[in-house]
């Protein structure tokens, strides 16, 4: 199903057997829990999805639902283990795309849905991406056009102490702070998880969004970026860059949009990573380390994973 973030691979969230088929189609590790999608806030109580609804969940839902925010709460007994992957919590989201809402309403049940990509490849933002990854393994795709946001939802947990962002997305830290005040950002959002450390969100421990080419992030000024890429352009190099860089670059350029336009960069990111994957000749991709302000945090989080946390700090060379 299309959503405003990325396409999701959906099944009846209350049916463990149906949910197990999602894991099979995607090749998803069984210990990575799924998000349960609803079409109206009242369905949380109607289907008794959680033990109780915290006040902070109501505040967030009032402000950001329908929209790209997923809220984790203590789960009730109706959530199959396949959905929660053995955790005592459940992630819930009310998507903004009218086709997703219509599908959930027609199904008359909440829908569990991870991103509709093969595990490890960039999330799909068009119906074509879904077919490329899962054609032959799934029954159908509803084509709802290109996803507006382009990166997955912001995930926040309200299940323990101070609200904590586990994955940044279209709803920003700054927007959530304006509603809740005190909000933490999990260490694993911007840094590599230490060896042996437990992931608050199992999805964060996997190397995600890994294109076939080697992605390297450069921490530098705009001029230094162009200089560095042009000087290192021998071996099948490409630039994942911004519109303003294109006239100056001597290598294949894949632009995410204008330098200051983080929503545009989020919108284009996965499509550009897939286009880079389609070009067999590219071995190395240079991108700059984005700012982590606003929606930039979501771009930063996906890019640093695509790069396997490889950053070259040109200021220190
Ligand atoms: O925008 C989105 O969120 C898309 C669309 C389809 O809604 N869905 C999506 O699902 O991105 P998925 O499965 O690709 O990512 C869900 C993330 C994973 O990192 C997973 O580990 C985490 O949310 N998650 C799900 N339930 C959780 C829970 N109970 N506790 C901690 N993390 C959880
Ligand atoms: Mg995913």
pLDDT tens, residue by residue, 12-41: 999 999 999 999 999 999 999 999 999 999
Residue 207 has what pLDDT? 60
Ligand 2 centroid vs 95 CA: distance in angstroms? 15
User: For residue 208, what pLDDT is reported?
Assistant: 63
Pocket test for ligand 1, best of 114, 133, 171, 199 (most atoms within 8 A of CB): 114
Alpha-carbon span 132 to 14, nearest angstrom: 28
Task: Give the mutation target among 3, 11, 34, 186 for probing the ligand 1 site: most ligand atoms within 8 A of CB.
Answer: 34
Quick: pLDDT tens for 165-194. 999 999 999 999 999 999 999 999 998 887
Q: Position of tokens 């499509």?
A: 271
Half-sphere exposure of 112 (CA within 13 A, CB side): 27
Rounded mean pLDDT of the chain?
Answer: 95
Which range, of 99-113, 176-190, 200-214, 232-246, averages the lowest pLDDT? Answer: 200-214
Provide φ and ψ at 34, rounded to 5°: -110, 160
**Cβ proximity of 110 and 35 under 8 Å:** no
Ramachandran sector of residue 6 (left: φ over 0; alpha: ψ -120 to 50; beta: rest) = beta
Interval between CA 165 and ligand 1 midpoint (Å): 12
The pLDDT confidence band at residue 293, using thresholds 50, 70 and 90, is very high
- Is the CA virtual torsion 223, 227, 230, 234 positive or negative? negative
Residue with the larger pLDDT of the pair 91 and 211? 91
Q: Which ligand is nearest to the CA of 114?
A: 1
Question: Is pLDDT above 80 for 197?
Answer: no
Confidence of residue 153 (pLDDT cuts 50, 70, 90): very high
Kind of pairing, strands 69-74 and 154-157? Answer: parallel
Q: Is 252 within 8 Å of 186 (Cβ atoms)?
A: no
Q: Cα 93–299–181 angle (5° rounding)?
A: 55
């Amino acid at each position: 199903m299309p959503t405003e973030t990325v396409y999701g691979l959906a099944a009846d969230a209350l049916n463990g057997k149906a949910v197990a088929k999602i894991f099979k189609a995607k090749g998803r590790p069984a210990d990575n829990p799924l998000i349960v999608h609803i079409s109206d806030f009242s369905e949380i109580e109607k289907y008794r999805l959680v033990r109780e609804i915290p006040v902070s969940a109501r505040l967030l839902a009032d402000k950001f639902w329908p929209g790209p925010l997923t809220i984790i709460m203590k789960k009730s007994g109706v959530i199959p283990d396949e959905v929660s992957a053995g955790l005592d919590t459940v992630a819930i989201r009310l998507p903004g795309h009218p086709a997703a809402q219509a599908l959930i309403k027609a199904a008359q049940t909440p829908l569990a849905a991870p991103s509709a990509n093969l595990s490890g490849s960039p999330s799909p933002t068009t119906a074509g991406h879904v077919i490329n990854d899962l054609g032959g393994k799934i029954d159908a795709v509803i084509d709802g056009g290109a996803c507006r946001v382009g990166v997955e939802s912001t995930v926040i947990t309200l299940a323990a102490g101070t609200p904590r962002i586990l994955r940044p997305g279209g709803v920003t830290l700054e927007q959530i702070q304006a509603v809740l005040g005190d909000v933490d950002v999990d260490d694993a959002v911007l840094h590599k998880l230490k060896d042996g450390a437990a992931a608050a969100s199992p999805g964060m421990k996997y190397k995600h969004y890994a294109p076939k080419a080697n992605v390297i992030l450069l921490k530098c000024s705009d001029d230094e970026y162009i200089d560095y890429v042009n000087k290192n352009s021998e071996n099948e190099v490409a630039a994942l860059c911004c519109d303003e860089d294109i006239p100056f670059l001597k290598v294949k350029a894949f632009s995410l949009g204008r330098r200051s336009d983080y929503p545009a960069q989020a919108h284009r990111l996965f499509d550009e990573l897939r286009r880079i994957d389609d070009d067999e000749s590219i071995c190395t991709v240079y991108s700059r380390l984005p700012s982590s302000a606003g929606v930039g945090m979501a771009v930063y989080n996906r890019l640093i994973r695509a790069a396997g946390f490889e950053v070259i700090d040109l200021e220190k060379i």
